[in-house]
Copies of this chain bind each other. A is one copy, B any other.
Amino acid sequence: MEFLKRAILEKGKVLPGNVLKVGSFLNNQLDVKLLSQMADAIYEYFYNKGITKIMTVEASGIAIAVLVAERFGVSAVFAKKSKTANVDGDIYAADCFSYTHKVMNRLILAKEYLNADDKVLVVDDFLANGQAVYALKDIVEQSGATLSGVAIAIEKGFQGAGDKLRGEGVDLFSLAIVDSMDDCQIKFR
């Protein structure tokens, strides 16, 4: 998606450790015009898949998820990050390591918000190591719902999780795939 690639090149910052900082438009300050265009593109890709629910994880996935949900006319749900291991019977849970914050998070979602007949589109701002997407996929599978697709704003292609998900048959749609950030030069696939 050219708008997004341009924003990444103009406003993104490459930091040590393969960190791509896009807080000025994607996940701290939210450029809602750009996010709306991204939501339109995601709707166009998945509009005929019978999606009944948009799912993401707090906090930075919520903005794009809610704009996507608005286009589909369905509800969005977000898994919460919990450091407590206590999970009662009314909650789905899946573990997920955050490489950014170097911490293991438990993603939790109340069972009442996901049903076996839901067709779920997982939406998130970033796909790098895939920890969050695999945890959300796990929660979808626990509920008996169908994972109809995964939509990502920025995929770090060089970290491999995107291609692994595609190889497993997941319908993954990434708006921009960064294939390398060597020497602070961003190269798209």
Contact = CB atoms under 8 A, between A and B. Distances in A.
Contact of A28 (B30, B32, B77): B77
Interface stretch (A55-63, A151-159, A177-185): A55-63
A70 B64 CA distance: 12
B58 A76 contact: no
Nearest to A72: B32
A30 B63 contact: no
Contacts of A36: 70
Contacts of A28: 77-78, 80, 110, 113
A32 B70 contact: yes
Given A28-B77, A59-B78, 6 more contacts: A23-B110, A28-B110, A29-B77, A30-B77, A32-B73, A32-B76
